[in-house]
Amino acid sequence: MQTDLIAEARRQAEICNACRYCEGYCSVFPALHSQRAFADCDITQLANLCHNCRGCYYACQYTAPHEFDLNFPKALAEVRRDSWESLAWPQPLAKRFHTHGGAVALALIVGFAFMFLTIRALGSAGGVGFYAVMSHGAMVALFAPAFLFPLLSLAISLRRYWQAVGGRLITLADLKAAFGRAVRMTDLAAGHGEGCNFEDKDRFSQARRYAHQAIMYGFLLCFAATCAGTVLHYVFNNPAPYPFWSVPKLLGVPGGVLLTLGCAWMAWLKLQSDRTLGDPQAWGGDIGFILLLGFTGLSGLLLYVLGTTAWMPALLSVHLGAVLTFFLLTPFTKMTHGFYRIAALLADAQRHRK
């Protein structure tokens, strides 16, 4: 990891530790105030606990033009991004996406869409619905490795993180505490329940919290719809397409709507936010990932609405290209922040039960 980023975050953490004005703001400050000195692993843990709500910045009396020049949200954001890049596997891909996220995602979507159109042009699969464009076997052959690769990559990087921060054996109580905070997104409320200061300077707002929840629950519903379709296909011998009142559609359509609207909302909030309070090097990757995730949800909804028209083959190719791109890039995009923050919350739960 970059020692200069760690050193600057440590300098600011030591000043915050002496001041203690922000003690009740979020998970970061109780963890920070429980120590007197900060090793590199401690700074990495604090960085991944931070949700960049920015409440501490607007409450701080030591920001510029004070000589201390504190910008703790930015310092932690830079360490956080550096930890994702340093601990990722394979490592070089993570840095490339953070600096050229939008371009990488767009190139992959277009490339994969042309690949799927080419497969169709070589001959119909002879199936029904989507399987008339591409056979079920071909989809499994392409998407199974694309699904398993990010799982392996994330498992390796999270293991590296857990070792780096000195995590111990996880208990049921740790899981309950960490997932409870994650589901409620408690740390996006800046510790006082009024929200965070993300998109409108020192005005408190719940908008970012709600947008995050829309994205998270929309994604989980879409994933559940895919799982339901898999069970229907393999267990009950009931392949797609499915009617609207089927389980995959009842889960997938609301999930797609939540995912699309949540990503559009989040992109708008990021455009309103002050970039100097985050990591400027990661901004392109962040917005690129949000747009990729939102486009995946939108293309799925369009495919559902226009699935019986002549547009279906082209829409299917674009949607599958977006899904394949999302899977392959997951370990190197901001999607990984959810996994790292769960790990950080688990480590913080262990700190409470020492």
Residue by residue, DSSP assigns 16-57 as: HHHH-TTTTSSSHHHHHHT-SS--HHHHHHHHHH-----HHH
Taking 70 as the threshold, does the pLDDT of residue 3 lie above it?
A: yes
pLDDT range class, residue 284, cuts 50, 70, 90: confident
129 φψ region: left (φ > 0), alpha (ψ -120 to 50), beta (else)? left
pLDDT tens by residue, 258-281 = 999 999 999 999 999 999 999 988
Peptide linkage before 145 cis (omega within 30 of 0):
no
pLDDT band per the 50, 70, 90 thresholds, residue 42: very high
pLDDT at 161: 96
pLDDT at 127: 62
Q: DSSP labels for 237-272?
A: --PSP--TTSHHHHHHHHHHHHHHHHHHHHHHHHHH
State the pLDDT at residue 319. 93
Residue, of 218 and 334, whose pLDDT is higher: 218
pTM, two decimals, is: 0.90
* pLDDT at position 354 over 90: no
What distance in Å separates the CA atoms of residue 110 and residue 117, rounded to the nearest whole number?
11
Q: What is the pLDDT of residues 179-232, one digit of tens each?
A: 998 888 877 765 566 778 787 777 888 899 899 999 999 999 999 999 999 999
Using one digit for the tens of pLDDT, what is the confidence trace for 93-131?
666 666 666 788 888 899 988 888 887 776 655 566 677
Q: What is the mean pLDDT of residues 74-81?
A: 95
% of the chain with per-residue pLDDT over 90:
54
pLDDT in tens, 131-143: 777 777 778 888 8
**DSSP code of residue 331:** G
Q: Compute the chain's Rg from CA coordinates.
A: 22
Residue 196's DSSP bridge partners are: 205
